[in-house]
Amino acid sequence: DLGAQVRKEMVATLGEMGVRVETSHHEVAMGQHEIDFQYDTALRTADHVVTLRYALKAVARKHNLHVTFMPKPLYGIAGSGMHTHQSLVRLSDGKNAFFDPRDEYGLSEVARYFIAGQLHHARGMSAVLCPLVNSYKRLVAGYEAPAYITWARINRSALVRVPQIAPSHPEATRLELRSPDPSCNPYLAFAVMLKCGLDGIKKRLPLPAPVEENLYTFDPAELRRRSIGLLPATLGQALEELSRDEVVQEALGEQLYASFLEAKGIEWEDYRRHVSQWELDHYLETF
């Protein structure tokens, strides 16, 4: 179909621009596509994210199509995330610092501390990783959205997933943070993610047990019993969490943090005061 043909052209264009695509395929929702490119350093990966956005929009325009990176463009169908795979490399020998063959999940102590750091700061990171009002329409139960602050291997409702790898490929050991969406600034997002993971290593934060059950079936009492937290439900809540997280603030820097908080606060207040079509449809003739 046209979508597949255009996606093929997008992949070729990215290759010409130095972004090596590993896989591309149609996703769950109608007209939704996924393009995964080869891993690299955090800075180069952020560069590739920006290149991808501009390249895809340019190719789409040639075919009278529009590419959107809006997290939740349509009600009732799956939104679009920017699941981010991460690992650390030891400077001493160039090997993956997250791998340990003796561990059930193949994770080293460093990896477990890193995951714990990101879980600990998940709410504080949220405004940076999911920076739009619309971002929080995606982060709801269902549609494989990671609304719950926990980790797992096969559970796609968890915030952090540890992909299973072959023992013969320890270099592939990594964690997948599932909350970021494609509207984020990748430079800020990756800086914050790294800072929070390193904070877990520095403080040797304990990693809770993984949860492989479908979290969407848990009621509030079960979530409390297992001490499973939730990501912020709105941009307003996310900004409040950011204002309380000194580690995330430090990653952004004093001036950038202040500017970000001010700009996003204005955006949230504008949305909060706006009277939507939904409200008119439900209330105008009822009251």
Q: Indicate the domain borders of the chain.
A: 1-67, 73-283
- Residue 141's pLDDT is 82
Query: Strands 229-230 and 148-152, how do they pair?
Result: antiparallel
- pTM value? 0.94
Q: In this structure, are residues 119 and 151 in contact, taking their beta carbons and an 8 Å threshold?
A: yes
Is residue 176 very low, low, confident or very high in pLDDT (cuts 50, 70, 90)?
very high
pLDDT band at 73 (very low <50, low <70, confident <90, very high): very high
Maximum C-alpha span of the chain: 70
User: What CATH number is given for 73-283 in this structure?
Assistant: 3.30.590.10
* Mean pLDDT of the region 197-224: 93
**Which pLDDT score, from 0 to 100, does residue 30 have?**
85
Pairwise CA distance, residues 250 & 246, whole Å: 6
